[in-house]
Chains A and B, each alone.
Chain A
Amino acid sequence: MYQYDSHDQAMVDARVAEFRDQVRRRLDGSLAEEQFRPLRLMNGLYLQLHAYMLRVAVPYGTLSSAQMTMLGDIADKYDRGYGHFTTRQNIQYNWIKLEEAPDILADLAKVEMHAIQTSGNCIRNTTSDQYAGAIADEVVDPRPYAELIRQWSTFHPEFSFLPRKFKMAVIASETDRAAMRLHDIGIQILRNDKGQLGAAFYVGGGMGRTPMIAPCINPFVPIDQMITYSEACLRVYNRYGRRDNKYKARIKILVHELGKDEYTRQVEAEFAHLLTQGIEPPLAELERIKAQFTDPAFATGLSDAVDRSDPDFAVWLDNNVQVHKQPGYAIVTISLKPVGGIPGDASGDQMRLMAQLARAYSFDELRVTHAQNIVLPHVRKADLYTVWQQLEEAGLGTPNLDKIGDIIACPGLDYCSLANARSIPVAQKISERFAGREQEIGELKLKISGCINACGHHHAGHIGILGVDRKGVENYQLLLGGSEGADTSLGTITGPGFNEEGIVDAVEKATSVYLANRHAGERFLDTYRRIGMAPFKDAIYAKDAV
């Protein structure tokens, strides 16, 4: 894992002091709210439905035990005993006091964490593959590249007042587990046919009101020019991205309106100029970072055998445990989606327990996934049963990874001031309705957003649900056929929306159509793609037989 040196620490410490000073000036009246707002947002502090909300960055989703323990302690000390893991691999606290926010940042800085640029019209936390460093199919570990981007983008003087927020993701395998093409910039680290490392740039993806899949604007930027190329992409956006209309201000609209070719031409021209400016860190810096992401000291010669005699354990194994690149080890995903629970929420105690497990069984490492779960990346197969037992005891052993109960849901109208409808109660009702049938239904990614901003990735759900406001009443639209990853696609709305009960019924009808039509081995998404929308629509909107 990356560890701060004195330079990194000095930057984060300076930020704490700066924010303390800004809060002081807000409270003494020298900063008006309009001026303070963008400053607090750049520190992840929102004013939400019930209180201030603080979003803490988890760079590329990687946490140490000490960091996870601190997150749990902050939940207890400053909040109401829990936190919410988000689709951007961050954590949010819902009940923060402005006066205490500087102290929280100071506590975070003690474990090399911060809330820098977790909101605002700047470059946000860079996300990555939650299985980085543990999965066999990666070309390299993508996280050093994400760390290089983290440093470059932190307090970037030119790009702190962009037309709109800016999200980047870095992956390094063909299987995309980070929804890379649904980001403002998605980067895939790869090798060319000469074996050299480079970065493929996908620019202009995103969800929200105008979902778009990012086109590839450059299939191979040499790895020692990745930062310069990013700078060029951003400069063109900063200069020409729309500022007249908030809903058209994301880079996807610029790329769309200019056309991919023209945008690319402008980026290449800027890139040629910036190459003369000496802004690229030397390869030695990348090597320095890489040296901190080397494999942990895996034991060799371990057996791959796992005793499956406990049937509940066997179900969990089949659902939540992935193949590790190292024989004798496994990747464990801890589901934060208990039946009837709040997706992504974890209590302070649960966080500390997960930290303990990581210390004892996973080389001190954890990951946050964009599906709002937690990963123990390097667990010995011989330890799986013990780990599972402890998770079970803490309510963290739900065996439902990528099943219908593993719902992505944004906070919605229970917490979010932008929401049109509640997301969490819908997730709870669906997971209760389908409890016990998840294995029969198989892989089904269900995603719920409480408004068009799409924090719950509803466009990319095999089944997506979007909350809308219909004359002051919560209403839910249903989408089918979305996907993220190698086969990224955007879902299609089935038709008129439903109330809360109705949307749960509609989901049930959709799964019935799938079960009645599926061929052997087909997932919900495969069947949908084969038979199309019509049969689903017929079933969902059929008038009940009289």
Chain B
Amino acid sequence: MKILTGNDLKTGAVTWWTGEGWSLHVAEAVDVGDQGDAIAARENAARRVVSPYVIDGETAADGPRPAHIKERIRALGPTVRLDLSLKPADPAAGNWVI
């Protein structure tokens, strides 16, 4: 699948395109097919996102999974500070990125 991601312009938070808007959770990302660049251009112009780009991903049991480790770390948070990640209560969350 193709996933569209970027950062929130004002807060810098990592965001994922859900089909209707931007979410902090990659689990809510949708397959943008070949529409990624068009959505990116539109959302960029509307200043709802900064530096959007399309990445490869696959659909796993627990939802969309970015193909590259960098994007998985973006989706989770720093693996060395899981307390600051999106899964602070899960000590094994770091395994998901590998």
Contact, chains A and B (beta carbon distance below 8 A): yes
Binding site for B on A (CB under 8 A): 26-27, 29, 33, 47, 49-52, 80, 94-99, 342, 413-415, 417, 419, 422, 424-425, 428, 472-474
Taking a contact as CB atoms under 8 Å apart, the answer to whether A47 and B70 are in contact is no
Report the bound CA distance from A414 to B14 in whole Å.
14
Which residues of chain A have C-beta atoms less than 8 A from B47's C-beta?
27, 29
Binary interface encoding of chain B residues 65-98 relative to chain A, with 1 for a CB under 8 A from any of its CBs, else 0:
0011110011001111100100000000000000
Instruction: Tell me which of B9, B12, B80 contacts A27 (CB under 8 A).
Output: B9
Taking a contact as CB atoms under 8 Å apart, the answer to whether B80 and A47 are in contact is no
Is B23's beta carbon under 8 Å from chain A? no
With A49-B73, A50-B78, A414-B79 in contact, do A99 and B10 touch (Cβ < 8 Å)? yes
Is B51's beta carbon under 8 Å from chain A? yes
Taking a contact as CB atoms under 8 Å apart, the answer to whether A424 and B69 are in contact is no
Q: How far is the CB of B37 from chain A (nearest CB, A)?
A: 16
A-B contact count (CB 8 A): 69
Binary interface encoding of chain B residues 41-74 relative to chain A, with 1 for a CB under 8 A from any of its CBs, else 0:
0001001001100000000000000011110011
Which residues of chain A have C-beta atoms less than 8 A from B14's C-beta?
49-51
Q: How far is the CB of A243 from chain B (nearest CB, A)?
A: 23
Instruction: Tell me which of A51, A417, A472 contacts B11 (CB under 8 A).
Output: A51
Report the bound CA distance from A414 to B84 in whole Å.
12
Q: Which of B4-24 contact A (CB under 8 A)?
A: 7, 9-14
Q: What residue of chain B has the Cβ atom nearest to residue A412's Cβ?
A: B80
Q: What residue of chain A has the Cβ atom nearest to residue B70's Cβ?
A: A413
- Extra contacts, 12 of them, besides A97-B10, A414-B81 (Cβ < 8 A), are A27-B10, A33-B51, A50-B12, A50-B13, A51-B14, A52-B7, A95-B12, A98-B9, A413-B70, A414-B73, A414-B78, A414-B79
Taking a contact as CB atoms under 8 Å apart, the answer to whether B74 and A98 are in contact is no
Taking a contact as CB atoms under 8 Å apart, the answer to whether A99 and B11 are in contact is yes
Q: What residue of chain A has the Cβ atom nearest to residue B50's Cβ?
A: A33
Main secondary structure of the interface of A (DSSP, over half): mixed
Report the bound CA distance from A29 to B7 in whole Å.
16
Taking a contact as CB atoms under 8 Å apart, the answer to whether A33 and B12 are in contact is no
Taking a contact as CB atoms under 8 Å apart, the answer to whether B80 and A424 are in contact is yes
Taking a contact as CB atoms under 8 Å apart, the answer to whether B80 and A50 are in contact is no
Which residues of chain A have C-beta atoms less than 8 A from B84's C-beta?
80, 95
Q: How far is the CB of A80 from chain B (nearest CB, A)?
A: 6
Taking a contact as CB atoms under 8 Å apart, the answer to whether A47 and B7 are in contact is yes
Taking a contact as CB atoms under 8 Å apart, the answer to whether B69 and A415 are in contact is no
Instruction: List 16 contacting pairs A-B, 8 Å CB cutoff, sorted by A.
Output: A26-B9, A29-B47, A47-B7, A47-B50, A49-B70, A50-B13, A50-B78, A94-B78, A98-B9, A98-B12, A99-B10, A414-B78, A414-B80, A425-B80, A428-B80, A472-B68
Taking a contact as CB atoms under 8 Å apart, the answer to whether A415 and B10 are in contact is no
Report the bound CA distance from A51 to B77 in whole Å.
10
Taking a contact as CB atoms under 8 Å apart, the answer to whether B12 and A47 are in contact is yes
What is the size, in residues, of chain B's interface with A at 8 Å between Cβ atoms?
23
Q: What residue of chain A has the Cβ atom nearest to residue B73's Cβ?
A: A413
Which residues of chain B have C-beta atoms less than 8 A from A428's C-beta?
80
Which residues of chain A have C-beta atoms less than 8 A from B11's C-beta?
51, 97-99
Which residues of chain A have C-beta atoms less than 8 A from B80's C-beta?
342, 414, 422, 424-425, 428
Q: How far is the CB of B91 from chain A (nearest CB, A)?
A: 14
Which residues of chain A have C-beta atoms less than 8 A from B10's C-beta?
27, 97-99
Taking a contact as CB atoms under 8 Å apart, the answer to whether A51 and B7 are in contact is yes
Which residues of chain B have C-beta atoms less than 8 A from A52's C-beta?
7, 12
Q: How far is the CB of A81 from chain B (nearest CB, A)?
A: 9
Instruction: Tell me which of B67, B68, B79 contacts A425 (CB under 8 A).
Output: B79
Which residues of chain B have C-beta atoms less than 8 A from A413's C-beta?
69-70, 73
Which residues of chain B have C-beta atoms less than 8 A from A417's C-beta?
70
Q: What residue of chain A has the Cβ atom nearest to residue B6's Cβ?
A: A47
Q: How far is the CB of B34 from chain A (nearest CB, A)?
A: 23
Instruction: Tell me which of B50, B51, B67, B78 contacts A415 (CB under 8 A).
Output: B78
Which residues of chain A have C-beta atoms less than 8 A from B79's C-beta?
414, 422, 425
Which residues of chain B have C-beta atoms less than 8 A from A424's C-beta?
80
Report the bound CA distance from A415 to B44 in whole Å.
23
Report the bound CA distance from A473 to B84 in whole Å.
24
Q: How far is the CB of B85 from chain A (nearest CB, A)?
A: 9
Instruction: Tell me which of A27, A50, A422 contacts B74 (CB under 8 A).
Output: A50
Report the bound CA distance from A179 to B98 in whole Å.
35
With A98-B10, A414-B80, A415-B78 in contact, do A47 and B51 touch (Cβ < 8 Å)? yes
Q: What residue of chain A has the Cβ atom nearest to residue B83's Cβ?
A: A80
Report the bound CA distance from A33 to B40 in whole Å.
13
Q: What residue of chain B has the Cβ atom nearest to residue A472's Cβ?
A: B68
Report the bound CA distance from A334 to B9 in whole Å.
38
Taking a contact as CB atoms under 8 Å apart, the answer to whether A51 and B12 are in contact is yes
Which residues of chain B have C-beta atoms less than 8 A from A29's C-beta?
47
Q: What residue of chain A has the Cβ atom nearest to residue B11's Cβ?
A: A97
Which residues of chain B have C-beta atoms less than 8 A from A97's C-beta?
10-12
Q: How far is the CB of A20 from chain B (nearest CB, A)?
A: 14
Taking a contact as CB atoms under 8 Å apart, the answer to whether A51 and B44 are in contact is no
Report the bound CA distance from A474 to B80 in whole Å.
15
Taking a contact as CB atoms under 8 Å apart, the answer to whether B77 and A50 are in contact is yes
Taking a contact as CB atoms under 8 Å apart, the answer to whether B74 and A33 are in contact is no
Which residues of chain A have C-beta atoms less than 8 A from B73's C-beta?
49, 413-414, 422
Q: What residue of chain B has the Cβ atom nearest to residue A416's Cβ?
A: B70
Report the bound CA distance from A72 to B13 in whole Å.
22
Report the bound CA distance from A51 to B74 in whole Å.
9
Report the bound CA distance from A171 to B26 in whole Å.
49
Taking a contact as CB atoms under 8 Å apart, the answer to whether B13 and A472 are in contact is no
Which residues of chain B have C-beta atoms less than 8 A from A33's C-beta?
44, 50-51
Q: What residue of chain B has the Cβ atom nearest to residue A82's Cβ?
A: B81
Taking a contact as CB atoms under 8 Å apart, the answer to whether A472 and B9 are in contact is no
Q: What residue of chain A has the Cβ atom nearest to residue B84's Cβ?
A: A80
Report the bound CA distance from A417 to B6 in whole Å.
12
Taking a contact as CB atoms under 8 Å apart, the answer to whether A419 and B70 are in contact is yes
Q: How far is the CB of B22 from chain A (nearest CB, A)?
A: 14
Q: What residue of chain B has the Cβ atom nearest to residue A23's Cβ?
A: B10
Which residues of chain B have C-beta atoms less than 8 A from A422's C-beta?
73, 79-80
